[in-house]
Amino acid sequence: MGLSGISLLTTTYSLILQHQSLLLCLRAKGFGLDLKKDMEGVDYLSDERKKAQFDVEAMKIAWAGSLEAFQLSDRMAKLVANDPAFEKFTRPMLGRKELIKNTLRKAAHGWKLIVDLRLTEEEAKWLRLYIDEPAYTDLHWGMFIPAIEGQGTEEQKKKWLPLAKKMQIIGCYAQTELGHGSNVQGLETTATFDPQTDEFIMHSPTLTSSKWWPGGLGKASTHAVVYARLIVGGEFHGVHGFIVQLRSLDDHSPLPGVTVGDIGMKFGNGAYNTMDNGVLRFDHVRIPRDQMLMRVSQVTREGKIMQSDVPRQLIYGTMVYVRQTIVADASKALSRAVCIATRYSAIRRQFGSRNGGPETQVIDYKTQQSRLFPLLASAYAFRFVGEWLKWLYTDVKERLAANDFSTLPEAHACTAGLKSLTTSFTADGIEECRKLCGGHGYLVSSGLPELFAVYIPACTYEGDNVVLLLQVARFLVKTVSELGYKKPVGTTAYMGRVASLMQNNCAVQTAEGWLNPGAVVEAFESRAARMAVRCGQQLAKYENPEEGFAELSADLVEASIAHCQLIVVSKFIEKLQQDIPGKGVKQTLEVLCYVYALFLLHKHQGDFLATGYLTPKQASLANDQLRTLYSKVRPNAITLVDSFNYTDHYLGSILGRYDGNVYPKLYEAAWKDPLNDSDVVDGFYEYVQPILKQKLRTAKL
Ligand SMILES: CC/C=C\C/C=C\C/C=C\C/C=C\CCCCC(=O)SCCNC(=O)CCNC(=O)[C@H](O)C(C)(C)COP(=O)(O)OP(=O)(O)OC[C@H]1O[C@@H](n2cnc3c(N)ncnc32)[C@H](O)[C@@H]1OP(=O)(O)O
Ligand SMILES: Cc1cc2nc3c(=O)[nH]c(=O)nc-3n(C[C@H](O)[C@H](O)[C@H](O)COP(=O)(O)OP(=O)(O)OC[C@H]3O[C@@H](n4cnc5c(N)ncnc54)[C@H](O)[C@@H]3O)c2cc1C
């Protein structure tokens, strides 16, 4: 028997098993049979797994970054998955109060594990990630502590960090107000120095100065780093961070002068509603002078302002740190959605049955592949660019510690731009995955609606994505304007070759010609350079540069996107120049890298053609190559998503189950819905039966 015959047999066998298992479930409802008799333990995706052309265990390590990182993450994932305290499937059905209480319980249980098992900070971070429930602890560990670490003096760190790290205080990051989020310099909360008492008076002078949004503020935090206008001697000295106690450490009640609460329900069921985003007002609340974070500026006992030799922008440092972590999280969210959609696409069959044989797996439709595989490739691309960004951030941090501030502008531009690019793409990608799963993707049990609802605010928090791209644009315009006398470095080094990038056109002549890293990078560099230079030329026509910038801002955003896409493509290619062990691992990643680059090239071919770098023929050859690449991804699709090493608990999706046992489990889950507790719905006798029994007088009806 040929290979195709074997595959037909095994597929048919799989189908029969699925069918039997479904029958058992159907009977279970009607005849009280034991549901456990469904085909539990059968791997419906085993045929798919046999198709892999690479070593999946080695790919898991490549995805995790190292063997140690893989083992750590795997350990934490299993710890959470095997602990019933972290059950999350009922979350979308809970009311707000139950939801928050449940989250507080999980956070407490998580903390107990961290203490009892003496987990390291890295292990604790992964544990929280796998608990997979937004909670006040995200902001405590993710922003409050980093703000003190980045902006506090040595003395302040010594006092506050041990308290925070032992969770003897709980903190949040209170920057945004009702009236201003993006415009940080427009914040209205005041911190006025009182030289008589050596204190700052924290005050909310207007309604719009109310702090609004900070996570963890609403119900959990005892403290906050509050960003406020520093006023000394009646003069405004910029926005600074202040550590302010909000609630009693005994009974948690708000301290005198503090009004604090939750801002209310947000998008989706469950989802981000586990977080107590809060509102906060101060009525002349006094704090000691040494609670202003004073690494950047100091206020002396006499009321003098002293500037350190660190740049003022360091006050924004926590945002640089968090944006970097958000890029890493984008790859996690996208890979989760892609894992669900890929596994389900291999299970789902529609049309194409011949002679009574099985129907076509929807993953074999070219349209499905052209929507799904670029998302799969992007998840890997974001993983590797996130890894690089972490390195960049660590490097900047070390430089800052040694008073070298030269790379801060680039770190700001990269974190802002990549945060924007990856979160926007991921949010759209999760929704695309929902559609790739057809109707069942709309079920909460698919895991996709909640993932989408939790994820989409990432396009807004930590900097609105358009506002952040405009920051990248400022950096690019500055780089272009300085080209005559300053050699660009780092991610803008390609601008140093601007003359040739503006002149040389693409040399690719065949579809295979696109399988060349040099050709791909040059295409992205030329497009980015040409778009930035074109913006620079347009801007030069304006007498007032700010007016020009505002007028051209939509084009500037596009130039920033081109620059950020170049970074992601280049970092993927650089990753492939490293030693990546494991049979077929590097080759498979190479295919994904070309899929990522050529997909972008196809999607944005308007840019490549309009800048004159490509001819329509070359763009079309890139698309031909892309189709060929999809065929190369196809046999590896399931094992590429297995390589994320996600537990079924973390995925939280019936459609994405590792064993592919989708239909019986969907069926079983439906019967667990509280609506199905009784056959006759609550409210039937009050609201439905009277309608059924009515005697209508209107003849026409
Ligand atoms: C479900 C969640 C799951 C997982 C998450 C897990 C882990 C992550 C942890 C927590 C995340 C969880 C929840 C989300 C929490 C979200 C928290 C927040 O949203 S906090 C609030 C964030 N707010 C913002 O981001 C505000 C955006 N605005 C700004 O950043 C800026 O103020 C602005 C837009 C840059 C202002 O522009 P403006 O022109 O007015 O700026 P300035 O005059 O003040 O300064 C210009 C000058 O400074 C440079 N610069 C600006 N920003 C920075 C920076 N961050 N670093 C370094 N340099 C900066 C800028 O380039 C200019 O430089 P110049 O040209 O003058 O040289
Ligand atoms: C879930 C969630 C959690 C959050 N957590 C925190 C937290 O813990 N702490 C905290 O301090 N904050 C938090 N925030 C607030 C968040 O940081 C801000 O909402 C965010 O920075 C966007 O600011 P904004 O709301 O003022 O938007 P706006 O700036 O008002 O944006 C509205 C629109 O105006 C556009 N726009 C604004 N400025 C410009 C411009 N210059 N040019 C062109 N277009 C512009 C934007 O693109 C957008 O389309 C959170 C927000 C959310 C949704």
Q: Write the pLDDT tens digit of every residue in 378-390.
A: 999 999 999 999 9
Residue nearest ligand 2's atom 44 by CA? 467
Q: If pLDDT is split at 50, 70 and 90, which confidence band does 701 have?
A: low
The yes-or-no verdict on residue 460 having pLDDT over 60 is yes
Does 64 reside within a domain?
A: no
CATH code at position 335: 1.20.140.10
Q: How far is the CA of 400 from the centre of ligand 1 (A)?
A: 18
Which residues touch 656 (CB under 8 Å, ≥6 apart)?
Answer: 336, 339, 340, 341, 343, 344, 446, 447, 648
551 and 604 in a single domain? The answer is yes
Decide which of 308, 334, 369 is a domain's last residue: 308
The yes-or-no verdict on residue 33 having pLDDT over 90 is no
Q: How confident is the model over 84-108, as a mean pLDDT?
A: 95
Q: Which atom of ligand 2 is nearest to the CA of 217?
A: 8
The yes-or-no verdict on residue 35 having pLDDT over 80 is no
Residue nearest ligand 1's atom 43 by CA? 185
383 and 302 in a single domain? The answer is no
Distance of alpha carbon 58 from alpha carbon 585, whole angstroms: 7
The yes-or-no verdict on residue 19 having pLDDT over 60 is no
246 and 341 in a single domain? The answer is no
Tokens 């031909």 belong to residue: 624
332 and 294 in a single domain? The answer is no
Phi, psi of 566 (to 5 degrees): -60, -40
457 and 595 in a single domain? The answer is yes
pLDDT given at position 549? 98
DSSP 681: P
Q: Which ligand is nearest to the CA of 177?
A: 2
Q: How confident is the model over 364-376, as a mean pLDDT?
A: 98
pLDDT given at position 269? 87
Q: Write the pLDDT tens digit of every residue in 308-344.
A: 888 999 999 999 999 999 999 999 999 999 999 999 9
Q: Write the pLDDT tens digit of every residue in 561-575.
A: 999 999 999 999 999
Q: If pLDDT is split at 50, 70 and 90, which confidence band does 39 have?
A: low
Pair 604, 577: CB distance under 8 Å: no
Q: Which ligand is nearest to the CA of 416?
A: 1
The yes-or-no verdict on residue 34 having pLDDT over 80 is no
Q: What percent of the chain has pLDDT over 70?
A: 94
Q: Which atom of ligand 2 is nearest to the CA of 470?
A: 42
Does 584 reside within a domain?
A: yes
The yes-or-no verdict on residue 32 having pLDDT over 50 is no
Of the candidates 399, 238, 213, 426, which has an alpha carbon nearest to the alpha carbon of residue 320? 399
CATH code at position 266: 2.40.110.10
In the structure encoding, which two tokens stand for residue 390, read together? 């972490």
Does 144 reside within a domain?
A: yes
Report in angstroms the alpha-carbon separations of 542 from 478, 529, 535, 548, 550: 15, 21, 11, 5, 11
The yes-or-no verdict on residue 6 having pLDDT over 50 is no
564 and 586 in a single domain? The answer is yes
Which residues touch 258 (CB under 8 Å, ≥6 apart)?
Answer: 246, 247, 280, 281, 282, 283, 285
Distance of alpha carbon 613 from alpha carbon 198, whole angstroms: 63
> To the nearest whole number, what is the mean pLDDT of the chain?
94
Distance of alpha carbon 118 from alpha carbon 325, whole angstroms: 24
Q: How confident is the model over 29-57, as a mean pLDDT?
A: 76
Q: Which ligand is nearest to the CA of 267?
A: 2
Does 520 reside within a domain?
A: yes
Does 186 reside within a domain?
A: yes
The yes-or-no verdict on residue 17 having pLDDT over 80 is no
Residue nearest ligand 1's atom 25 by CA? 463
237 and 331 in a single domain? The answer is no
Distance of CA 399 to the CA centre of its chain: 27
Distance of alpha carbon 583 from alpha carbon 31, whole angstroms: 50
Residues with CB under 6 A from ligand 1: 134, 138, 142-143, 173, 175-176, 181-182, 184-185, 215, 313, 316, 319-320, 322, 325-326, 329, 408-409, 412, 454, 461-463, 467, 471, 474
pLDDT given at position 90? 87
Residues with CB under 6 A from ligand 2: 139, 173-176, 180-182, 213-215, 272, 277, 457, 460-464, 466-467, 470
434 and 471 in a single domain? The answer is yes
Distance of alpha carbon 9 from alpha carbon 5, whole angstroms: 6
Decide which of 276, 308, 340 is a domain's last residue: 308
Decide which of 265, 283, 308 is a domain's last residue: 308
pLDDT given at position 688? 97
215 in a labelled binding site: yes
397 and 467 in a single domain? The answer is yes
153 in a labelled binding site: no
pLDDT given at position 16? 39
Q: Which atom of ligand 1 is nearest to the CA of 319?
A: 55
pLDDT given at position 13? 38
What's the chain's length in residues?
A: 701
336 and 299 in a single domain? The answer is no
Q: How far is the CA of 147 from the centre of ligand 1 (A)?
A: 13
Does 92 reside within a domain?
A: no
Catalytic residue ranges: 462
The yes-or-no verdict on residue 401 having pLDDT over 90 is no
Does 289 reside within a domain?
A: yes
The domain total for the chain is: 3
607 and 563 in a single domain? The answer is yes
Count the Cβ atoms, other than its own, within 10 Å of residue 164: 20
698 and 598 in a single domain? The answer is no
Q: Which atom of ligand 1 is nearest to the CA of 326?
A: 8
Distance of alpha carbon 391 from alpha carbon 352, whole angstroms: 49
Does 467 reside within a domain?
A: yes
pLDDT given at position 1? 36
Tell me, what's the ipTM?
Answer: 0.97
- The parent domain of residue 675 ranges over 1-42+661-701
Residue nearest ligand 1's atom 67 by CA? 409
